[in-house]
Amino acid sequence: MAAVPEDPRLLRPSVPGIRLMSRTMVRIPRSMVRALVTVLSLVAVLVVAGCGSNGGNSSAGRDLCSPPGEASAAAAPTNLAAGASAGADRFTTQTVETLDRIDVSKLGLLSPGVLSVGTLSDAPPSICVDSKGQFTGFDNELLQAIGAKLGLRVQFSGTEFSGLLAQVANRRFDVGSSSITTTDLRRRLVDFTNGYDFGYFSLVVPNGSAIHGFSDLRQGLRIGVVQGTVQDEYVVNTLHLDPVKFPDYNTAYANLKTGQIDAWVAPSAQATGAVKPGDATSIVQNTFSLDNFTAWAVRQGNQPLIDALNAGLDAVIADGTYAKLYANWEPRPFPPGWKPGSKAAVTPQLPDFAKIAAEHHSSNTAQAAPKSTLAQLGDTFFNWSLYRKAFPDLFKTGLPNTLILALVSGVLGSVIGMLLAVAGISRTRWLRWPARVYTDIFRGLPAVVIILIIGLGIGPVVKNLTGGNPYWLGAVALALLASAYIGEIFRSGIQSVEAGQLEAARAIGFGYRQSMTLVVIPQGVRRVLPALMNQFIALIKDSSLIYFLGLLSTQRELFAVGRDLNAQTGNLSPLVAAGLVYLLLTIPLTHLVNYIDRRLRTGRAEKAVEPVAESLAVE
């Protein structure tokens, strides 16, 4: 019988786990290419549509994070709630130190010569990020001027209001700047400077609402507030109602416009800036912030820094800088009987805002017609000019940071996860138990809690290594969170390998460690690759939680960039644009997961086998 030529393909080893995986990853799957082309086409259509827009939309042309100027002056509100008053001033100092007596080397700063400031980006005109990616607004511009008087460089980092005071108390920042009203409850956690503002807050309702004032608010109504603000405290403790809490002002106002809440209690400056011509909403009543003034937060016990900031505040009031900034950013009269700075400070010489407001009102009597619900939804979510404005920042700043955080945390989480998996299947209980406890804790706690514990708890301990920058701490927190899930994925994959594989490896002379590392673990990892890719996709989205730790404007990830643009414009289109970039990342990866899963299940590419080779394989 003639010898049959040997087919080299039949001589390849077929032991599972030995074959190189790279041979199954040669071609790019068509489904993934189609998904990528679809997403890129969608982005291109939006950009082209944005380029073709005439820019006439009012929300697109109005930058809420630029100073409105004196032309936007408002008179003092006359629709004050009954009993509104400034209250007794218990904390303003009589005098301040002179600037020449301030020793900046004794201010207890985190970095010598640098004033580290935690702030927000979503409350223009007080605090926001401008179109150049710089933190600005009245509060921050005033702090910049004071820093210049003291010879300090001011460095701003964005964070969440709910964690700002804790970050100041735990030395994450030297100062908290966020239009913070100085309530007695907050003074238990941090100290405050003298006041630089004393604003009203407003009640905003839909047009035609039966709510005409704070006295009309009652149980059963959905009253929106921003969590942790003095408005939240006012609704809970003064009105004794249960409010609907939102993370930022723009989200709260968007819910009011779409009818998801019945009323919104907000700072007057934010309410006035949010309500635009054509919006079917109105400010029906105002009241004073009942618990003192607005000031900067400082760590308790750091009196030298408080004295320095108070001295700088009086100095910028005296030289007219305060009046110039106030008239440019927040042109409205002070509440009766109040002025900024110490009691010895001069009263700022401000323009007659009531007169300017009356003249401006008489020359602009025409009111824009209310828009339909469909038109409002279109303007809010599909403003093409804002898509065009958002994409450059999203790709330049947000996308690189999102990828860096996801890749670093993914690699580190995989290494830790493999160690957890090996410990979890160990025959030594002193390895199994710690691995199980670790996994239970990190899988059971919310991601935000883990990030805050690592950032605020571990951050001060390792600040000499990180330079006080929480960016990499955030990546570590994500890695620790992901490792608990990845460890379970690896463990299940390893335990799914047939016991005979280990026995066969031991039979040919491999030791236990060699058998595990060369035969069992590679097969287990191969089987769970799709699940690992899904975990990486989750990390891409979880990277948005790092903003809780306080980041520089250059460190913002996709969601933070979209939210800052949302704050600039009062429009949700930038957030939709950020969502499209997330889709650009996740859809191709999802199809790649499906492709890998399909290839691993079949063991080869979807390719017809030659008849001769098939017959040889059968024989």
- C-alpha 377/C-alpha 383 separation (Å) is 10
Question: What pLDDT, in 10s, does the model give residues 70-125?
Answer: 877 777 777 666 555 555 667 889 999 989 899 999 999 998 999 999 998 877 88
Instruction: Please tell me the least confidently modeled range out of 178-182, 185-189, 613-617.
Output: 613-617
- C-alpha 255/C-alpha 500 separation (Å) is 60
* CA end-to-end distance (rounded Å), the chain: 15
**231: nearest Cα among 191, 262, 188, 263:** 263
DSSP H or E stretch at residue 149 = helix 138-150
Question: What pLDDT, in 10s, does the model give residues 346-379?
Answer: 999 988 887 887 776 555 444 555 566 666 667 7
Structural domains of the chain, ranges and CATH numbers in brackets: 70-196+294-370 (3.40.190.10), 200-288 (3.40.190.10), 382-602 (1.10.3720.10)
Please, which pLDDT band fits residue 469 given cuts at 50, 70 and 90? confident
pLDDT averaged over every residue in the chain = 81
Q: Retrieve residue 94's tokens.
A: 């009589």
Instruction: Please tell me the least confidently modeled range out of 84-88, 189-193, 221-225, 435-439.
Output: 84-88
Q: Is the pLDDT of residue 475 over 50?
A: yes
Q: What is the pLDDT of residue 487?
A: 93
Higher pLDDT, 299 or 172: 299
Instruction: Please tell me the least confidently modeled range out of 116-120, 308-312, 341-345, 591-595.
Output: 591-595
Q: What is the pLDDT of residue 377?
A: 67
Q: Is the pLDDT of residue 144 over 70?
A: yes
- C-alpha 425/C-alpha 92 separation (Å) is 63
Question: What pLDDT, in 10s, does the model give residues 234-260?
Answer: 898 888 999 999 888 888 888 898 888
Look up tokens 């100062």; give the residue: 175
- C-alpha 422/C-alpha 432 separation (Å) is 9
Q: Is the pLDDT of residue 15 over 70?
A: no
Q: Is the pLDDT of residue 608 over 90?
A: no
Instruction: Please tell me the least confidently modeled range out of 2-11, 76-85, 302-311.
Output: 2-11
Give percent of the chain with pLDDT exceeding 70: 80
Beta partners for residue 155, in sequence order: 116
Q: What is the pLDDT of residue 73?
A: 76
Highest mean pLDDT out of 147-156, 450-459, 530-539, 567-576: 147-156
Burial 152-176 (b: 16+ CB within 10 A, else e): bebbbbbbbbbbbbebbbebbbbbb
